Amino acid sequence: MMGSSNQQSARSIDELLRDRSLERKFEFDEPVDESIPDLVDLARAGPTVSRKEQRRQAAVARDAAKPVEAEPLRLPFEMTNAKGEIQFNKVLEAGAWLGIFLLIGWEIYINSPFFERAAPMAPIVYETPPKLS
């Protein structure tokens, strides 16, 4: 299918959604009732859009007026709550993560060429299955 040279492509998603030129070329069984407003026009002119825009502008102004405070550095394994008390479950969680990382490190080490066995590998006792008589 070839497009004509005088058609312009949509430059953005919003322009593509608002473009009604293709709908005008469709043929419908029932005639279009012009008294029914277009939903795109209703959404564009609706009071909720202006309220949302007002709320957004108020939030931007409120954020701009608020002084920027530096938040204290929070470590991922912080074991105290807001009152400064040590939480037992956080201590257990940090210990579990430490154990996991140590085991992963140990597995990497024993599978690396830096690890040498102190004793020879255990011999294979049965090369062939024993014969039962």
**pLDDT, tens digit (0-9, with 9 covering 90-100), for 98-110:** 999 999 999 999 8
H helix or E strand, kind and range, residue 129: none
Could you give the number of structural domains in the chain? 1
Residue 104 belongs to a domain: yes
Residue 84 belongs to a domain: yes
Residue 127 has phi, psi (to 5 degrees) of -80, -35
Residue 99 belongs to a domain: yes
Which pTM was predicted?
0.34
Give residue-wise pLDDT tens across range 41-88. 666 666 665 677 788 888 888 887 777 777 776 666 677 777 888 888
Domain that holds residue 96: 78-114
Helix (H/G/I), strand (E/B), else coil: 85: coil
**List of residues 6+ apart from 17 with CB closer than 8 A:** 40
Check: CB of residue 19 under 8 Å from CB of residue 11. Answer: no
**List of residues 6+ apart from 40 with CB closer than 8 A:** 17, 18
Residue 112, token pair as written in the block: 């690396």
Residue 98 belongs to a domain: yes
Residue 30: what pLDDT?
A: 73
Residue 7 belongs to a domain: no
Residue 97 belongs to a domain: yes
Residue 103 belongs to a domain: yes
* Of the candidates 61, 66, 92, the residue with the CA atom closest to the CA atom of residue 79: 92
Residue 93 belongs to a domain: yes
pLDDT at 1 over 50: no
* Of the candidates 30, 32, 29, the residue with the CA atom closest to the CA atom of residue 20: 32
Check: CB of residue 116 under 8 Å from CB of residue 99. Answer: no
Q: Mean pLDDT of all residues in the chain?
A: 76
